[in-house]
Amino acid sequence: MFETSSIPSGTLKKSGARSISGDMVFRLLTRIASAILVLIVAGILVELLRASWMSLEKFGPGFLVSRDWNPVTQEFGALSSIYGTVISTLIAMILAVPVSLMLALFLVELAHPVVSKIVGGAIELLAAIPSIIYGMWGLFVFAPYMADHLQPALQGAAGGLPLFQGPPMGIGILTAGIILALMVLPFITAVMRDVFQMAPAVSKEAAFGLGSTTVEVARSVTVPYGMQGLIGACFLGLGRAIGETMAVTFVIGNNRSLSWSLFDAGNSIASTLANEFSEASEPMYLSALMELGLVLFGITMVIQIIAQFWLKRMARQTGRR
């Protein structure tokens, strides 16, 4: 039917030759791009090490466990910043992951296509809001609400716990965690939704055919199918939460106390850098701030490694099954 024979043989050869040279250029371009990426990461690491050398030398590993942060005596330690970063991120994940999971399942399994589209659009819109807006909203709208309603309610319900001590100021680690949860929610949801959509319809229909309820289908087909993507989505959110700067700086309260109470003010690595970098004129002060950056770099790297490890292990397990 097709007149393949009418194509002159010369053209075929020529185009084949062209595609080989095109391939080479393409390969070169991709290699350059990858090399640039590796160089950038290495460059950041080297520069961070170089700039924080003074502080590394003076404080050693004690930097990680020291509570001091005294620009007057030039004694620096990262403990309160690490604590604030980890706890606020943890709160964000505890709040955001279950909600995202429910939301994604609703969008894929239950919602009417029109509703799904509207809610999906809203989620994408939420993801596009700049972090400074979250920060200002957090400080001027949410913090007052926290102080007047949420914190007294928490104290009323579980006032005995060391987690909810102190005057309800509306700002602090808990508020920062909640704002962070709001910020990472759309990211995690969007990825989870895409993952769930890829679960084969045949398997789902088969499960329904066997008489499964929606919950059972979600639990034994959709979620297991997308487990890898699910974990990936969580780490994406985690990565965003841990380095978030402006929004946290607005609501975390920026002090260096270390207490059990989530109502207390604290600081995160990113907020400390945002606050203090521009005015740090002494070399040791600058170097200590750089080392904080290095610590954040390290934390992010460790999280990435754990994520990769986990994903690999899961891939192996699913393979076995």
Partner 1 sequence: MKALKAMTIAAVAVAAIGTPVLAETETYKITGAGATFPYPVYSQWAYAYKNLTGTQINYQSIGSGGGIAQIKARTVHFGASDAPLKAEELDELGLIQFPMVMGGVVPVFNIDGIKPGELKLTAALLADIFLGKISNWNDEAIARANPELNLPDKAITVVHRADGSGTTWIFTNYLTKISSEWKEKVGSGKAVMWPAGIGGKGNEGVAAYVKRVSGSIGYVEFAYALQNKMSCSLLQNQAGRFVAPTIESFQAGAANADWQNAKGYYLVLTDQPGEMSWPITGATFILVYKEQTDARLARAMLEYFAWCYEHGNETAEKLHYVPMPENVVEMVEKSWHDQIRREGESLWSLAKTNSQ
Q: Which residues bind partner 1 (CB under 8 A)?
A: 68-73, 139-140, 143-144, 147, 167, 169-172, 249-250, 253-256, 265, 267, 271, 274-276, 278-281
C-beta closer to partner 1: residue 170 or 237 = 170
- As a whole number of angstroms, the distance between CA 230 and CA 191 comes to 8
CA distances from 238 to 99, 192, 233, 250, 320 (A): 15, 14, 9, 19, 29
Which CB sits closer to partner 1, 104 or 147? 147
Count the helix, strand and coil residues of the chain and give each as a percent rounded to the nearest 5: 80, 0, 20
Q: How far is the CB of 61 from partner 1 (least distance, A)?
A: 21
Q: Which CB atom, from 171 or from 207, has the smaller least distance to partner 1?
A: 171
Helix (H) or strand (E) holding 234: helix 227-243
To partner 1, the closest distance from the beta carbon of 251 in angstroms equals: 10
Shortest Cβ distance from residue 275 to partner 1 (Å)? 4
Comparison of 126 and 136: residue with beta carbon closer to partner 1 = 136
CA distances from 242 to 16, 61, 139, 302, 314 (A): 50, 22, 19, 12, 24
CA distances in angstroms from 256 to 243, 267, 275, listed in the order given:
18, 6, 13
Pick the closer one to partner 1 by CB: 240 or 256. 256
Q: Where are the beta strands (DSSP E) in the chain?
A: 69-70, 75-76
